Amino acid sequence: MQNPYSNAMAQLSKAAKLIGLKKSDLGKMQKPQRILQANIPVKMDNGKIKKFKAFRVQHNNRRGPYKGGIRFHQNVSLNEIKALSFWMTIKTAVVGIPFGGGKGGVIVNPKKLSKTELENLSRGYIRAFYKYIGPRVDVPAPDVNTTSQIMDWMVDEYNKLTGKIQPAVITGKSLANGGSLGRNTATADGGFYVLSELIKKMRLKPKNLRVIIQGFGNAGANMADSLFHAGFKIIGVSDSITSIIDPAGKGFDSHIIEKIKKSHGRVDVCTCKKIKCSCVDHQHLPVQKILEQPCDILVLAALENQITKANYKKIKAKIILELANGPIAPAAEKELFKKGITILPDVLANAGGVTVSFFEWYQNIHHGKWSKNKVKTELKKTMIKSSDEIMSIAKKYNTDFRTAAFISALKKITR
């Protein structure tokens, strides 16, 4: 397994070198400003106390309060959270919103917790770190395995501890508790606008493009929906349990996959649940094999380090859209770039989520409520402006879109 923080630093060095970034500025970007750690005691349903290791990393607040999600996952590590907080600093600058970068995480498999235990853990996280967060200090949000319900518990705990009602302390809340319309689909919407901008520039037509999507959670499933409605052909999808491919290349209906995922807990277009089912319209593949299937666009919407030195040679996509954070290791990216594969990098492609988080924070601070239409319109404007900026920097420096995004961000952060 690659170290995600070394990956992030390799990306930083490449962009810093191209623009001759001052050593002192580079040093500031290489180290998070603060690393917080705690062992959270949680009362389990059997009456015993279990401790869970938790992190909050505050990378940089040069452009505004730290901003970044909280991840609940059994593989969370400090290096991962450091990398994710760094990418948040870059991402918020790429889309020009007034935030810095932070990230949090807990080492836990939340699927093994009851609802009460999950609530106890979420409230415990805030008790551990509440002195270091706040609407103008550090604004957490959901990430992998954390939901609007979890954000609601966290805000409630923060309000109890501080004695004030401050919904702007956390974004990604439920609508009833100050969340924004359009937040649920924001990451996928943002990625969709970036992809549409690219294919428009490449003069390609959705109906001629075959798409494979790895990961079918919030980001992947909503992306499938947008792509399906825009006429793209979704010929493969996967989740952590299975993957399916349409050998005829006609394309799946995203609604059917979503319905079955909801009722059976795995992506499928049938309900037979067999790895080798006899349905003629689709085939099952081992989960990771989906990445290697021929397609025009590969959407990575699961976890980091999915394309590495071990499998890059087998990638056949022409365009890769990173909805997940850090799904391609730098060594593999170099090779993909040489093969002529266009990568729409995470720091741009998945920045729709944090952009709408900013809209939510803004509405909370100003006691306002935007319509879904306003959220989508503002998001589209932001994503198109940022995409155009990155594409023209890439042209100017004759480099890939990730390096261009880093250049754009570094210039904004260090000016």
Which positions are catalytic?
103
Site for ligand NAD in 167-206 (CB under 6 A): 187
* Cα–Cα distance, 43 to 263 (Å, whole number): 31
Question: Out of 40, 324, 343, 413, which residue is the one contacting ligand NAD (CB under 6 A)?
Answer: 324
For ligand NAD, the closer of residues 214 and 363 by Cβ is 214
Candidates 106-114, 123-131, 210-218, 331-339; binding stretch for ligand NAD (CB under 6 A):
210-218
For ligand NAD, the closer of residues 21 and 351 by Cβ is 351
Question: Out of 58, 171, 180, 218, which residue is the one contacting ligand NAD (CB under 6 A)?
Answer: 218
For ligand NAD, the closer of residues 354 and 410 by Cβ is 354
Question: Out of 325, 363, 387, 403, which residue is the one contacting ligand NAD (CB under 6 A)?
Answer: 325
Q: Does 143 bind ligand NAD (CB under 6 A)?
A: yes
Candidates 35-43, 226-234, 318-326, 359-367; binding stretch for ligand NAD (CB under 6 A):
318-326
* Cα–Cα distance, 79 to 98 (Å, whole number): 25
Q: Does 217 bind ligand NAD (CB under 6 A)?
A: yes
Site for ligand NAD in 337-396 (CB under 6 A): 350, 353
Residue 373 has φ and ψ, to the nearest 5°, of: -65, -45
Q: Does 105 bind ligand NAD (CB under 6 A)?
A: no
Q: Does 139 bind ligand NAD (CB under 6 A)?
A: no
Binding mask 274-313 for ligand NAD (x = CB under 6 A): -------------x-------------xxx----------
Candidates 123-131, 141-149, 203-211, 399-407; binding stretch for ligand NAD (CB under 6 A):
141-149
For ligand NAD, the closer of residues 21 and 322 by Cβ is 322
Q: What's the min distance (Å) between Cβ of 287 and ligand NAD?
A: 5
Tokens of 291: 């990445």
Q: Does 145 bind ligand NAD (CB under 6 A)?
A: yes
Question: Out of 60, 89, 214, 387, which residue is the one contacting ligand NAD (CB under 6 A)?
Answer: 214
**From residue 160, how far is each of 102, 177, 323 by CA, in Å?**
23, 15, 35
For ligand NAD, the closer of residues 74 and 240 by Cβ is 240
Which positions lie near ligand NAD, rule CB under 6 A? 143-145, 187, 214-220, 238-240, 287, 301-303, 323-325, 350, 353
